[in-house]
Amino acid sequence: MEKETTIYDIAKELSISPTTVSRGLNNHPAVNKDTKQKIFEVATQMGYRSNTFASSLRKQRTNTIGVIVPLLNSNFQSSVMAGMEKIANEAGYNLIISQSLETVQKEITNAKTMFDNRVDGLLVSIAYDTENIDHFEPFFSKGIPLLFYDRVPEHKKCTSIVIDNTQAAYTATSHLIEQGCKNIVHISGNLKVNVYKERLKGFKYALMDNDIPIVDSSVIVTDLSEEAGIKAAKQIIQMDPMPDGVFVSNDYCAVSCIKTLKQAGISIPKDIAVVGFNNDPITRIIEPNLSSVNYPGYEMGEMAVRTLINYLDGASDVSITNTITLRSELVVRESTGKLKHTSLAIH
């Protein structure tokens, strides 16, 4: 049987070190383009085959990263996945993606499946009703890197990647106040979830700083669905006095709210100014176009995978807890006034 060609054979042929050959074959940036080309040419001529299985055994890696998302049918999560795929592919990793379908029970099943499939690390945005994360304990106890993004739990062993939701909500609410709104309603999601709890906090801070009273009717807690937007709009119409501003914690709910208000003869933004969250494509379709906080999903996906791979490569320590906060901005459109397509940075 003909002997398999190894990186040592290639190194000998080219009079370079086996390490350089290995790095060249793995497209390492430390090896210059010409040397890489020579390595690939000689490897092809000599019939070299990369032994991915043996490599995985040596590293005790599967070169797979698990991802658990609440739902894939959102523009935000699609953007996050695109960013994750880019960095994972560049680094030679595959993603295994599953949906919790917004239920903790499905999230528990997904976490066990990921663990049993020996993923090298796990990225999670928690489900709508997740209140504790005991089901991720096997990852902590085995030292398998686990990062949370967007919807994150409070846990001393977790690294989280988020935006400053409190500041983003403060900026959005302050913008409504600057447009002359004095009676503002906030349509929120489950207040046990970090993102909605923090956005409510930012909303309240903005009212307090502008001496606007906070009353119970100022906050409508929903599941932020299309139906919730319709229901919230009907509730707003019945209020006396009727609000002159609405800050909604996602764009789809905001859009259905606007449509329902318009059907009732209410002018946007003349009677009620509306601002959403996420800057989904739908913000540019609804009339008037919707002002919204731009959530950098693609960058969040890139950062999540890059950080996880740094842990796997030993470049950083998974046991050191930190929070990575990405920058967001408010994109101002016609739903909050005459000012068009202006971005207000959120630091």
What are 114-168's pLDDT values in tens digits?
A: 998 889 999 999 998 898 899 999 898 888 899 999 999 987 777 899 999 999 9
Q: What is the pLDDT of residue 282?
A: 95
CB distance 343 to 331 below 8 Å: yes
The residue among 285 and 6 whose pLDDT is bigger is 285
Domains and CATH numbers, the chain: 7-50 (1.10.260.40), 62-163+297-326 (3.40.50.2300), 165-295+329-346 (3.40.50.2300)
Q: What is the pLDDT of residue 315?
A: 65
Q: What is the pLDDT of residue 51?
A: 57
d(CA 335, CA 287): 8
CB distance 222 to 228 below 8 Å: yes
Q: What is the pLDDT of residue 259?
A: 98
The CA-atom distances, in angstroms, between 214 and each of 60, 208, 223, 245, 250 are 55, 8, 22, 14, 21
Q: What is the pLDDT of residue 347?
A: 44
Residue tagged 């590293």 (tokens): 59
Q: What is the pLDDT of residue 53?
A: 44
Q: What is the pTM of this model?
A: 0.77
For the chain, the 3-state helix, strand and coil shares in percent, each to the nearest 5, are 45, 20, 35
Q: What is the pLDDT of residue 141?
A: 85
d(CA 253, CA 32): 51
Taking only the tens place, the pLDDT of each residue in 207-240 is: 999 999 999 899 999 999 999 999 999 999 999 9
131: tokens are 């209140």
Q: What is the pLDDT of residue 54?
A: 47
- pLDDT at residue 333 above 50? yes
Q: What is the pLDDT of residue 314?
A: 74
Q: What is the pLDDT of residue 60?
A: 65
Average pLDDT for residues 85-100, to the nearest whole number?
94
The residue among 205 and 311 whose pLDDT is bigger is 205
Taking only the tens place, the pLDDT of each residue in 65-88 is: 999 999 988 889 999 999 999 999
d(CA 314, CA 121): 13
- Is residue 145 reached through a cis peptide bond, with omega within 30 degrees of 0 on the bond before it? no
The CA-atom distances, in angstroms, between 215 and each of 120, 129, 177, 233 are 48, 26, 16, 18
CB distance 313 to 294 below 8 Å: no
Q: What is the pLDDT of residue 319?
A: 57
CB distance 42 to 15 below 8 Å: no
Three-state DSSP class for residue 67 = strand
- Is residue 296 reached through a cis peptide bond, with omega within 30 degrees of 0 on the bond before it? no
312: tokens are 């796997």
Average pLDDT for residues 175-203, to the nearest whole number?
96
Q: What is the pLDDT of residue 50?
A: 65
Q: What is the pLDDT of residue 342?
A: 45
Q: What is the pLDDT of residue 321?
A: 60
- pLDDT at residue 56 above 50? no
| Helical packing angle, 7-14 and 18-25, nearest 10° | 110
- pLDDT at residue 322 above 50? yes
Parallel/antiparallel/unpaired status of strands 291-294 and 328-332: antiparallel
Where residue 27 falls among pLDDT bands split at 50, 70, 90? confident
Q: What is the pLDDT of residue 228?
A: 97
